[in-house]
Amino acid sequence: MATITDPSLTLSFLGGDLQAAHPSVQTIGQEHIVRRTVAFHQQLLSGLKSASNQVDLLLHGNCAAIEDIVATEGDIKAVLRDGSATLFTGYLSTNFTWTVTHSGKKALAITLEDTGTRLLGKAFIPGGKHLFNCSASAAIASICAAAGITVSASCIFIPHIVTSTVESTRSCRDILDRLVYELGHVYCFDPLGELRLFKVDCTSTEDLPVLDRDDLAVVGGNAITLSKRIRQYKSARVSFTRLGTASDYLVYRNTTGRGEGHPYCYMKLDPGAHFDGTEIHTESGWEEAQADSLRKAALIEACNASGEGAIVGSNGIIAVSDVRMDFASESGSVTASITAAGGPYLRIQVHNGGSLPYHVTRLDAYASIIHIRDTNIVRTAATAFEGESSDNLLTDELEFVHDRSLAQAHANLLGQYHRHSNCRYTFFSERDIPPGSVVRLVDNAFSGLDVAVMVTARTFTDESPVFQYQAVGISAFDLGVAAHLETIAGGSGDTAGEAGPPGEDAYQVQVVSEGGTTFRMGQPFSTTMVARVFKGGVEVTDNFTDSDFRWSRSSLDAHADGIWNSMHYSAGSKSLTITQQDAVGRSNFFCTLLRRI
């Protein structure tokens, strides 16, 4: 980069704990910034995930602001400028050390972190659940608002609908990282500290900017260094759920005391008693519970309360809205309310305000729902039966994306990016190349290397005009290339269109779970999954032996999945019984047919 001629660092102390008469905004001029120590570290990509930026620099030991930097316990916002041009906006890291400059003077080494590093660690919501069912850009805007981050007016707009319920335990970073990753983007922060998005894509490797011996610089005896990972990925397998909707659907029914003459319920409430959906509280017990600041309000998860099989069946409900209550009691002194509490949860409140005991004779809730129709997997192998080795297979489970074309694009991006990115390059040049750029490296002086790369990171200082770049090998992506789709948990209430031509050579593996397809994490369960094979619509399961089937698991813990899959690899069977011991958080189980007839 060009030499910084007039550096300044403006610090805003946000903790409100400075000594009297010390200003909350202080500007450090160039006389207190040690020259040739300002180092910029910009990383756009960490694999296909978002990364972060930072700046390192030294302050002379006689800088007056150092006293407040060391003493404050609050956040310090930092803006680095060169004259009137803003170079970096972020926050001062809490890690700093005393050091000595080349001239032997005392100095404080500080690091400026980007806006996201400091602010995205906040919890997205203080408590309860939150449903995203909106465009991706609207979801990103709400996450940034919760974190106190400004979205740049130049930020890419993503219109695709995302749907997920998030818990209060999740941070803004966790949600944002996952959301943009599933849609093939990463986020970064511009010099003003505002969020922008970058789409990971390479439409062509033709007519790329070329860096050859005239553009490359030799540093430490090297112009280009290459490192290559031994592990090579050949294919990707991505699981996702399709969603359906229904209106005025029975999602809760209280059956306490139901019996002859009371077809719905017959729940007794003493005078002053409260019912929160889980238990009945006395009046004094309720007041005590309400006064407990650590107590979390009871939430009831919506379910298929009527036991119908045409719409939801055994699949899960992920969101409720427009809740309607059907309520009856022996007295008008008993009041009730049932409201949506975020995602699939309901908040129930019933109170007997009378002086006599009364019974609730009906307490039902109907709502508009979003429910899981089925679970599917997309494979990018040359055939649906290839590429299943854990050594060369990339697996992922989508949380926000429920559309087949988006899931296919994600699977293709995983497979095509990682197929080439095992080759990593470091090179030096005075050319200013932003991270995310695709260029062609040509070493026409020594090795004869000629390769297309995507720049993932760069480092530069105010001391030298030379940039150090990190890049990965890249090839043109085709995110729309056909992939294999398999339904592993059939949906309920799907709409059938007109029959197409017979798929005489088409194989389909269906997995039927005898105990249902959705289970509460942390609660005991047991179910047997049975694989059925169809060819051209005709079941041919009996034509295969147990050894033709292979079971595998996919969760957010890839290491544990590898152990589980290794333990079950040799145990071929048409059926598999699993319990809570086989699940690690949110887990999906797959059955693969190893041969065709």
Domains of the chain: 7-115 (no CATH), 129-199 (3.55.50.10), 503-597 (no CATH)
Structure tokens at 398: 């989508």
3-class DSSP state of 415: helix
Spatial separation of the C-alpha atoms in residues 109 and 95, rounded to whole Å? 9
pLDDT of residue 529: 85
Looking at the chain, how many residues does it have? 597
Spatial separation of the C-alpha atoms in residues 501 and 45, rounded to whole Å? 44
What angle (nearest 5°) sits at the alpha carbon of residue 27, between those of residues 23 and 33?
A: 135
Spatial separation of the C-alpha atoms in residues 100 and 140, rounded to whole Å? 43
Question: Mean pLDDT per 10-residue run, the chain (597 residues)?
Answer: 82 92 94 93 94 95 94 94 96 92 90 96 90 94 97 96 91 97 97 96 91 88 75 80 92 89 91 92 89 82 78 82 94 95 92 95 94 88 50 86 93 88 90 95 82 95 91 88 71 45 58 71 79 76 86 78 75 84 80 78
Q: Which residues contact 196 (CB under 8 A, 6 or more apart)?
A: 152, 154, 155, 156, 187, 188, 189, 190
Q: Which residues contact 23 (CB under 8 A, 6 or more apart)?
A: none
Structure tokens at 528: 């047997």
Element (DSSP H or E) covering residue 395: strand 393-397
3-state class percentages of the chain: helix first, strand second, coil last, to nearest 5: 15, 40, 45
Q: Where are the beta strands (DSSP E) in 61-209?
A: 76-82, 85-92, 97-100, 106-114, 129-135, 161-167, 185-189, 195-199
Spatial separation of the C-alpha atoms in residues 181 and 37, rounded to whole Å? 34
**Is residue 201 within 8 Å of residue 183, measured between CB atoms?**
no
Q: Which residue type sits at 264?
A: Y
First to last CA, the chain: 63
3-class DSSP state of 111: strand
Structure tokens at 578: 């699993």
pLDDT of residue 170: 93
pLDDT of residue 528: 86
pLDDT of residue 383: 45
Spatial separation of the C-alpha atoms in residues 364 and 255, rounded to whole Å? 9
Spatial separation of the C-alpha atoms in residues 164 and 64, rounded to whole Å? 49
pTM (two decimals)? 0.77
pLDDT of residue 261: 85
Compute φ and ψ for 166, nearest 5 degrees: -115, 150
What confidence tens digit (pLDDT) does each residue in 131-168 have? 899 999 999 999 999 999 999 999 999 999 999 999 88
